[in-house]
Amino acid sequence: MNKQKQERGDFSGISQKFSKSIYDTSKGQLRMEVLKRDLAPLLASEPCLVLDVGAGLGQVNQWFQQKGFKVVHSDLSSEMVEEAELRHKAQGLDQQCQYISSSLTDLVNQQPFTQYDIILCHAVLEWLPDTELAIQQLASLLKPGGRLSLMFYNHHAKLFANAIYGNFDYIERGLKVKKTVRLSPENPAVPEQVESWLKNEGLAVTQKTGVRCFHDYLRNIEHQQRFDELLALEMKYNQMSPYRELGRYQHWIIEKPNCQEE
């Protein structure tokens, strides 16, 4: 029997490896600290309905659950969803969270009239084949007056990092690999294009942050372990140009106006 090929971004079978590769490292810890700082105003708002797309193990949406928000936790991997539910249960949080194993497209198709006050979509776009369509779908799921927390892999930062590493052939190939690596996203987004697509949907970017503006470019990787100093540096400059634009990821807070222009 042929094993069904998994979709890109479905981390079933490697959830523990995913957790260690992403969250149990200085880069993962830095990402979480930056997100916590950026999301503080949303966490301080009146509890409402939150959708977390590609929620993984639920580390971010648990902050909202702790504040009394109702959360829909959605991920392509049923294994990740089950693991997240177990983690939340251990913290007494699962009663206010609905767990769904679903793609973004399925969410739109299965719940066409459901809209959310807050949508979290972190490190998802780069795994999808059609970024523009994904933004259209996210816009359709967001209530008027709602806010979208969007974090995506930055094409410009990937190119710049590979230039520093001397991977000139890779850049010449358009950043296309010869062999797919499962935990490595292959579709980084161009920020200017993302902002154009958001504008087409009537969405406005209200805050921009770079994530890992300095971390990934350190010539001596041992300096990545000087975490407190590095975190302070990132926090000081990651919303300032030109450092912001060099973040390996971009984290944007986006609003949908209450009254859509005709």
Residues flagged as binding site for S-adenosyl-L-methionine: 31, 54-55, 75, 122
Specify which residues 118 forms β-bridges with.
Answer: 50, 147
Question: What are 153's two structure tokens?
Answer: 């892999």
Residues, the chain, total? 262
Q: What is the 3-state secondary structure (H, E, C) of the chain?
A: CCCCCCCCCCCCCCHHHHHHHHCCCHHHHHHHHHHHHHHHHHHCCCCCEEEEECCCCCCCHHHHHHCCCEEEEEECCHHHHHHHHHHHHHCCCHHHEEEEECCHHHHHHHCCCCCEEEEEEECCHHHCCCHHHHHHHHHHHEEEEEEEEEEEEEHHHHHHHHHHHCCHHHHHCCCCCCCCCCCCCCCCECHHHHHHHHHHCCCEEEEEEEECCCHHHCCCHHHHHCHHHHHHHHHHHCCCCCCHHHCCEEEEEEECCCCCCC
Question: What are 149's two structure tokens?
Answer: 């927390």
204-211: strand order across its sheet: 97-101, 70-75, 49-53, 116-122, 142-153, 249-255, 204-211
Rounded to the nearest 5°, which phi and psi values hold at 61?
A: -70, -15
